[in-house]
Structures are given as C-alpha cells and as structure tokens.
Amino acid sequence: MKNLLLLRKTILAAAFLTVFLFSGLSFYHSRHLKEPVVVGDGLLEVKKLSHYFPGLKGSINDANVYVLGKEKASEGEGAALVLGGSHPEEPAGRLASWLLVENARLEKGRLFVILTANPSASTSTRPGGAYPPDYEIPTPWGRQKFRQGDRWSNPLDQWPDPEVYIHYPSRQQLAYMDIRNQNRTWPGRPGGTMTEKTCYAMTQLIIKEKIDLVVDLHEAELQYPVISTIVAHQKGEDLAALASMMISSEEGFNIGVEYSPVALRGLSHREIGDHTPAVPLLLETPEPFLDATRGKTDRSLLLTGKDEFVMKAGRHGLLFEKLDENGWPIDVRVGRHLSSIIQIFKVWTELHPDRPIQVENLPRYAEVISRGTGYYLKNPALTPSGRLFYE
Amino acid sequence: MAVFITFLYYLMVAFFAACFISNFRRSRNWQTEVLYLIALLPFLLRLFRLK
C-alpha cells in the first residue's frame, strides 16, 4: 500500500515536472526570442535610449534607436521620431517601423525610429488572454518570427503596481495597471518606474535631437471609438487634417482625425505636445484580435483579422469600424501605417519648407497589400554583421 | 520601497510554493495531490522569473 502511494506520487511529480519544464521553456524562449533587423542603406547609426538618459542603462527597456538620414544632413532640415511597439501586442506598428528601418532612405531631414518602444512589454503576453507567444511573417526567403507581446510592461521587470496609478506630473488618477502602460506614462520622470523612465528617455531624445514630429504607431479594437484615425495634439491639427485628406484621395483608404483630449493625461499625443516642441500624432489601425468578444485568440486571428464573433458584434451595431469576411489582414494594417507616414511627412514638408522631412523607397499601402509585408523584410542570413541588429 | 516589496513578494511566493509541496507529500488523496500540483505551477514559474 505504501509502495503504491509512493509510486502514485512519483508519477504525479514526474508529470508535474514535465509540464513545468515545457511551460517554463516556452515562456523563457518567448521572453528571449531575438528578432533580426537588417538595416538599410539609409541608416546613419544605432543608438541606445540610455544615450539620452543614462538612468536606463542596464534596463531591458534600453531600446535601440535607429537613426536614418544622409551623412551631411543640413542643420536646417527637419527631424521625426517614429515609435513602434509602445504597445507590442499591436503588431502593425512594430512591423511598419521594421519596414521603415530596413527600406527607407531620407532625401531630406533625419528620421529616428524605435521599433520596440517598450521592450519589456514585448516579452510577455496578457495573463488569461490565451495569446500566442509569437507569430511569423512569410517572406521570399522563409518565415520571420516576432514576439507577440502585451500592452503593459512585463511584471517581471516592474513590480509591484500601486492601488491607484497617479500620473506624473498632472496627478490624475488612472487605473493601477496603467503604471506599466507606456501610453499612459508620458512625459515620464527620471526617478520613476521603469516605464516612466523609458518615456523620460524618449522625451529627452525629442528635446536633444530637436525632433519636429513624433508619430506613435498603434492598433485598436473595433469596439473602441478611436479607430482608423490620426489622433492629433492641437499643435498638429492642420497637419493631421491635411494628411487625412491626402491619404483618402491618394492612398486608397480613409482615415479620420481625432483631437487629443486635454483632460486625458499620460498619452503620447497629449504629453509630447505639452512638454516638448514636437508635434505628436498617434495612428490607429483596426485589430480584431484585441476585441473582447473575439473567438479563438490565435496567430491566424492576429494576422488575418477574421473573427465571426466580432463580425456578429458588428451586425448588432457594436463596432466603430466595419468588419466583413475579408477581416483586417496584417498587410492592410501595415500598409495603412506606412502610407499615413509618407503622407504626414509630405504634408509636414509642404507646411514647413524650412524643416523638410523627405523619405523615399518606403512601400505604400497598395504595394504592401499586393506583395505582402514579408516581401520587404530582408534576409538576415545573407547580411554582414555590421548591418544586422536584434530587437 | 518597490525593491523591498518585491523581495517580500518573492519570499511569500517561495513560502506558499513550499507549503504546496509539503501538502502534496502529506496528502493521501490523489485528487488533492493533483490540485496542489496545479496550484504550485504558477508559483514556481514566478519564483524562477519565467512568467
């Protein structure tokens, strides 16, 4: 009898160790997955965020800053910052910034791109959300794997959360977990949490590099009213309105304009405009993967944007963006971001000819849909080490 | 302050993990044993900073 008990406990313990080992390895690999970035001809240098705020050195959030431009850019030319991965669970933003760094050339001005603005958030997924740990984009040379990520910084890197998050410097009370939300911690502070320090470092980048324009790339659930739009600080209202018209007439899709609410604190489109000379714009594309009424939360939903349950919500008038059987494929979402960036820079240059930002060789909406996002990703296996970086 | 709370938190996680293991060893009911092991999993994942 005693031997039977021992045998049962041994079997159960072995089964437990197997599950622990597999789940632990899966989480470990997901957290440490290296994503290759093959920088294009337009790259000047790669800096770290700690270059602008040494307090971030050694932190997981000491993100890469890719600087694109010409060797001899004129002092008078403009400068822009594009942020991908403020919320890594919104992959179109990261992928669009990937395509920027791997393909774009600057004819005028300088372009700073951060592919993963919150690296910590890219290393975990939403607890209870049943997210896949990663996803793959097909390319002509194989498949490139990316981390799925979450909306909030990984609790392994920033812990504990307060009962109520009090935003600095407004002292507005926000939801407790938003102290780990990079789009609620702008402008950041040097003595704050890791997420606040990351925003502080980016604020310092904007000030020290004399950035004129910041474009923060996001995606939104279809049951959220701020979708398929440019959210603009009041300093950028004309720019956003003109860009919206140009996009609608030239790029083949419609995008609206929302104005950044003055009373809603901590967001990039509010705080960057209030605390730096730059004009911040935030772009939203539709991502049915984020909707609460979605079905199976898998890689297919993430990349195709097809979901019968969210469609059913649409039939009941609960969506703020259309959703049909074609879904919202990742190529459509990446293409929307890229064409929006192209048109925003174009309009910016027309409005500010003394601070031009002119980007070339960047695929547009129609091209990304026609060839696929992966067509524009370079093969890291054929790349000399000097041009290969990892996120 | 956050570092101190985090240290206490990991101590607490280790304490409860040890309790689950101890209860698993003492239990004579297979269903309870499975329950202890299922409850132990997230504690160990956090203790080893895996999730």
Per-domain boundaries in chain A: 48-150+186-386
Asked if A20's CB is within 8 angstroms of B44's CB, the reply is yes
In whole angstroms, what is the distance from residue A324 CA to residue A183 CA? 30
Q: What sign results for the dihedral spanned by CA atoms A70, A71, A77, A80?
A: positive
User: How many CB atoms are closer than 10 A to CB A28?
Assistant: 14
- CB-CB: which of B28, B37, B50 is closest to A28? B50
Which residue among A16, A27, A159 sits closest to B50, beta carbon to beta carbon? A27
Class of the domain covering A48-150+186-386 = alpha beta
Quick one: average pLDDT of A30-41?
Answer: 94
B35 part of contact set with chain A, CB < 8 Å: no
Predicted TM-score (pTM) of the model is: 0.94
The answer to whether A159 contacts B41, with C-beta atoms less than 8 Å apart, is no
Residues on chain A touching B45 (C-beta within 8 angstroms)? 20, 23-24, 27
Q: Kindly determine whether residue B6 and residue A159, on different chains, have CB atoms separated by under 8 Å.
A: yes
Distance from CA of A20 to the nearest CA of B (A): 7
Q: What are the pLDDT digits (tens) for A352-379?
A: 999 999 999 999 999 999 999 999 999 9
3-state secondary structure string across chain B: CHHHHHHHHHHHHHHHHHHHHHHHHHCCCHHHHHHHHHHHHHHHHHHCCCC
Interface predicted TM-score (ipTM) of this complex, two decimals = 0.93
Mean predicted confidence (pLDDT) in A62-68: 98
Contacts of B25 in chain A (CB under 8 A): 9
- Chain B CB contacts of A131 under 8 Å are none
Q: Which of A16, A29, A131 is the mutation pick for testing B, counting most B CBs within 10 A?
A: A16
Point out the residue among A23, A159, A193 whose CB comes nearest to the CB of B45. Answer: A23
List pLDDT tens digits, range A12-25.
999 999 999 999 99
Q: Which residues of A touch B36 (CB under 8 A)?
A: none
Confidence at residue A71, expressed as pLDDT on a 0 to 100 scale: 78
The verdict on a CB contact (< 8 Å) between B9 and A28 is: no
pLDDT for A73 beyond 70: no
pLDDT tens digits, A269-289: 999 999 999 999 999 999 999
Nearest to B45 among A8, A13, A27 (CB): A27
Q: Closest-CA residue in chain B for A156?
A: B49
